[in-house]
Structure 1
Amino acid sequence: MRKPLLVALCALAFAGVGATPAVAAAPAPTGADTTTDAAPGTLTDVVEGVVGTATDTLSGLRAPEAGAVNFAGTVALSNCSGSVVRMPGSADDDPALVLTNGHCLESGFPAAGQVLVDRASSRGFGLLDSSGSQVATLRADRLVYATMTDTDAAIYRLRTTYGQIKSAYGIDALELSGTRPAAGTSISVVSGYWKRIYDCSIDGFVYRMKEGDWTWKDSVRYTSACDTIGGTSGSPVVDSATGQVVAVNNTGNTNGERCTVNNPCEVDETGRVTVREGINYAQQTYLFAACFGVDSKLDLSMSGCAVPKP
């Protein structure tokens, strides 16, 4: 899990080496919510995310092209990325939803096996236009769903509808695909935090991926071109051809360790473990399309809804 120093350094001073990974926050984008969001991370990720920000951000930013994936509809959190998403059957007058990682929650990361549903939240999200400029701060009224079990995802409900966002800012939500992506699909990982787009392909899928206390199923593995860093957690993974969200970016193996925090390992059906240093991953999101009904309401009892339940 990727986390963009001050908080991390303080935590390390009190907890000592070998303790649970520190909560840390990168500098918040202008106008974004400044609440410290709890999420796992390492000092290495912090340094990568903060030192050299001008070089890294500019070198990774590509100018929007006609028809190409851009920043419109993505959001910046205080230390993560996210996106305004709509389900395949959503209506314009439905409350808008924001997708990010479970490990990006402002209240701390869920324990293994824990699923959070329908919690109060007033979290703010910096809405970006196609060029990456922040045009508004959107405000949540509920945390609809969050977990780090089987997947690493959180979905917030906003106080505004899709139609209101479109009318006020000219920005459409990103549509969540209801089908599983295929290996070889060209994708873009769009970080609202760094205003940076990574282009690569889906290299394959991981039967089980383990990181610290957490295990995820059927994870997306990127080709090496998507060298995501701290602060890209929660970024939408967009199918370059359809423009639909197929996954949510969440982690990468930083220094070759085996199954530790910030060093996930791959486990196949036979239990064989593979470590791929420098490779990054995402969690698929198509399962959520079957869990939401009218008015953006979560219904975990709906037919086909196979996400973890409380």
Structure 2
Amino acid sequence: MKLFRSLLAATAAASLTLLGATTAQAAQPAVQTPGADFTGIAALSNCSASLVRYAESVSTDSALVLTNGHCYEGGFLQPGQVLVNKASSRSITLLRPDSSRAGTIRVNRILFGTMTKTDMIVYRINESYASIKSRLNVSPLTLAKQGPADGAGMAVVSGYWKRIYTCSVQKTIPTLREGDWTWQNSIKYQQPGCETIGGTSGSPVVSTTTGEMIGINNTGNEDGETCTINNPCEVDANGNVTVDQGAAYGQQTWWLYTCLTATRAIDLNKSGCQLPKPAGR
């Protein structure tokens, strides 16, 4: 998971890399390709994140922010643990398209959070999309209703590092294991281009065709180890384990739509809901 020791180890090197990237980008003309700027991007104290909306959201809805479950302010969630409707008061920084700081928003509730099957947490903000647009001039990303196809163009947009990685989807991995955690239908990135580092956890995976959020960045195999922390392994239907050092992965977010009610609330008991439920529900 891109929050561990790699965050500290990468700080000095990444800072130098970013200085070079900023200089190069400054000499380039503005690019209008989706995923080429920081629209809807947010930064946490330990991770990246994004301001998001459903396709059906309206401007008066309470705004939502999406990041990884392992970026939760209370620490890592245990396997099988699911947070639902939990109070929170986390502060989140929103960025402008040029990556400068737009301002701060505050969470009032965790609607859903887990590190089981997928790795995400959905925060509800204490103001509406319309209020954020009026106050900070920040617009959300729209969540895609389906996972990405193999070969689809994508960008990982990190608010923590103010850095954009661009590549394509290599394939979907049926089972990905890291330490005690297991994720399903993980998105594997085609390299080179998306060699994500610590601090990129929670970054949206954005379609460079539609601009929609098609996944959420969360991990990569750093050392070539097998199924250990920072070294996820791929498991096929027969239980065969594959290790791909340097590979990076994201998790599915479209499953949220399978659990939405008509009022855009998350109902884990809804028929067809593909998100995990808390134990006993």
Rounded Cα–Cα distance in structure 1 between residues aligned with 2:82 and 2:74? 13
CA distance in 2, matches of 1:234, 1:285: 11
Counterparts of 1:187 and 1:257, CA distance in 2: 27
The 3 A distance-change label for structure 1 pair 90 and 294 is: farther
Note the alpha carbon deviations across 1:46-84, whole angstroms, 9 max, x for none: 211x11343222344546512442101110000100001
Question: 2:267 aligns to what SS in structure 1?
Answer: coil
2:40 is aligned to: 73
Alpha-carbon contact 1:176-1:246 (below 8 Å) kept? yes
- Percent of counterpart pairs with the same letter? 47
The answer on 1:57 being equivalent to 2:21 is: no
Q: 1:237 aligns with which of 180, 205, 208?
A: 205
Q: Which amino acid aligns with 2:258?
A: A
Residue of structure 2 aligned with 1:182, choices 120, 131, 149: 149
Deviation at 1:134, TM superposition (A): 0.9
1:280/1:176 CA distance change after superposition, 3 Å:
same
Task: Give secondary structure in 2 for the equivalent of 1:139.
Answer: strand
Give the whole-Å Cα distance in 2 for the aligned partners of 1:59 and 1:45: 19
Q: Is the 8 A contact 2:34 2:206 kept in 1?
A: no
Compared with structure 1, are the counterparts of its residues 189 and 60 closer, same or farther at alpha carbon in structure 2 (3 Å cutoff)? Answer: farther
Instruction: Provide structure 2 residue ranges, at least 5 long, that are not aligned to the other structure.
Output: none
**Are residues 255 and 199 of structure 1, via their aligned partners in 2, closer, same or farther at CA, if it must alter by over 3 Å?**
same
Seen in structure 2, the aligned counterparts of structure 1 residues 230 and 242 have a Cα distance that, compared at 3 Å, is same
The corresponding residue for 2:73 is 106
Structure-2 change in CA distance of 1:87 and 1:95 (3 Å): same
1:121 to 82, 88, 94: 88
Q: Determine the C-alpha separation between the residues in 2 that align with 1:242 and 1:145.
A: 26
Of 130, 141, 156, which aligns to 2:123?
Answer: 156
**Corresponding residue of 1:22:** none
The question of whether the paired residues in 2 share the 8 Å contact of 1:97 and 1:296 is answered with no
> SS at 2:256's partner residue?
helix
2:273 is paired with a residue whose SS is coil
Instruction: Work out the number of aligned pairs and report it.
Output: 271
Q: Secondary structure at the match of 1:256?
A: coil
CA RMSD of superposed structures (Å)? 1.4
Note closer, same or farther for the CA distance 1:172–1:304 as it changes in structure 2 (3 Å cut). farther
Task: Quote the Cα distance in structure 2 between the aligned partners of 1:186 and 1:53.
Answer: 24
1:60–1:303 distance in 2 versus 1, CA, 3 Å: farther
- Name stretches of at least 5 consecutive residues in structure 1 with no aligned partner: 4-40
For the pair 1:46 / 2:12, whether they are aligned, the reply is: no
1:303, CA displacement in angstroms? 3.6
1:31 matched to which residue of 2? none
